Every structure is written in structure tokens, then in C-alpha cells.
Structure 1
Amino acid sequence: MEYVSTFQLGSARVALELSGIDAFNVAGWDGEDAEPVSDGCVYAAKAFLDRLSLDVPVGNAMAGTDGSLGLYWERQDVELYVDFRVDGRIRVYYTDGEDLSRELVLPIGTFIDDILESVGPALLMLTTPVNAGGEEHADFQHLAAWWVQDYVLAPTNYALAA
């Protein structure tokens, strides 16, 4: 199984987030009973990362002891976590550290566009320029409804395999 070469033909970005997950590709990687990261989780994470705008900063990957794969971004008080579960579900959590916080679990077979729509407000917060005073140049509560057009880079709509 090869995870290090994460650039896919036609990809909009090099998925640097996944460059270190080979260490989690063996049973017991945590020194106990952790499962290796599942191929399905890696595939789903790559498909998601390939659809992100180049504006989105590079995040981090983290493995779950059940074989799941999580992606995590943080910028000032903004946090976004997308967890690709072994059973095919996707757990999403994001917060702006103040007023906005959301956590949900998307069902098996969720399309990439629907995942992107679910995390849209967080992606907007991660990519919105910050002025010298530390204030963002956007009202996230009002922009969240129509942001997704900026992040859909291709007409392809991928389904995640269970």
C-alpha cells in the first residue's frame, strides 16, 4: 500500500496533509492494538483534498486507532476537523472559537460536494484574509450559504465508497 505519493492526476492541489501517514499503516502503530489506516479512508480523504481550493492552507492528518483518518486545520481561533470513518461515514466539526460551532456526521455514500458544502463556513474562515488588527474581512454567518461555488473546481461529483 502506497500513501506517500498523494498527488493524483488532475488534482487541484498536492495533498501534503497525507505525506506522513505511512507510519500508521501497520497494526499496533500506537504501541497497543491500533488498526492500520484503512484504504477506504485514505481514498476518501484524497478525493476530498483534491477538491479543495489552493487557498486552503495545508492541514494535518491524524490516524484513529480504529483505522479512521482525520484531517485537521487551524488558523487563529478557527478549527476544522474532517474525520473519514472506517464504516464510510464522515464526521465534521468546526468552530470560529466564538459564535459559530457545528458538529455533524454525514452518512455513508455522501458526495464530495456535500462534504464541501458542510464545511463551507470553516473553509471560508480559513481562507479569508485577516487585517493587521486581527479582524477578518468577511461576515461568516451571512456568507456561508453561497460559498461552495468557489470551491467546486471540476464538474465531477465523486461518491465515497463504503
Structure 2
Amino acid sequence: MRVAAVCGAAVVTVVAGMAPAAGAMGAPDADLAYHGTADMVAGRVDVRFTPHNHGPGAAPESAVRIRWSQPLADRQTLPAGCARAAERVVLCRVGALEADGVGERVGLRVRLRGAPTEVLLEFDTVWSDGAVDENQVDKNQVDENRVDANRGNAQGRVLVLDTGDTYHF
């Protein structure tokens, strides 16, 4: 019970002040994407990525949700700005991103429960304080005259095998 309370408090700290993007009508369009690498050895997964905002608008505050296809081990040491949100979910604050801007690199190491031979990681933006990533808004809410050249990049996936090889996304 204590672990759940600590995890809950950490999630509140990570996302404090952030609002869901899906309801933000009339906000500037921000095109967020995450580029990086991941590798796995004996159930330990190292993930390093850099957030990018391809614009045209700024994203004053944003966070990325990383979903794991395998459950995480109960005890994790995560970097500042990251918190475990569920058995298979980690949230990381990426902060403000100017249009055509690059955020600070995020690096985390997690341990998976057991020793799976593969894990699928899924990345998506879950908050953008007033900015809208067109990829995550209902199509009926998007201005038909705007075209997102990178439709779909806000939701990345990478399959990582337990080989020690580096996989890029």
C-alpha cells in the first residue's frame, strides 16, 4: 500500500500543472515526436530518447507516456521527472518545447518482471498544456485546412529483443 501511495504522489508531481491535450480547441498545433534508442539484456531495458516538436506551435508543457508490453519489476529507480503510473506504464515530463525545438534527452533504465525475450515499447504524448498534437485529437476537432506532414509520429513503437542490440525509433 505504501508503494502505491508513493507512486501516486510521484505521478502527481510529474504531471502537476499539465492539462489533457484532447480538449484544447483553438490552441496552437504542436507536432511532438520522440527519437531514440532502446536495448535489453536479461530483463533490464535501457531507453534513451529526445523529444522533438516539429511545430508549427510551441508546446508549453508536455509529458510522454511509455507503455511496456511486459510488466515492470515492482522496484524501480527512475530519473527525476519520471514516475511509474501503472504496472506497465511510466510517465516522463519533457517540459516546454518551442516550435521546431528539441527537448532535453531522457534516459531511463527499467527492470522487467521475470526475463522476457522481447518487449514492445509504445510512446505517446498525453499532456500538452494548451497545445494540441494533431495526431491525438479527434479528427472532427482539427482544422481541415491544416496538414500534419508527420501524422502518426506522436505514437511511436519499438520492439526490443533480449539480444543486447540497440534498436532505434
For the aligned pair, the TM-score class normalised by the smaller chain equals under 0.3
Which of the two has greater helix per residue?
Answer: 1
Greater fraction of residues in strand: 2
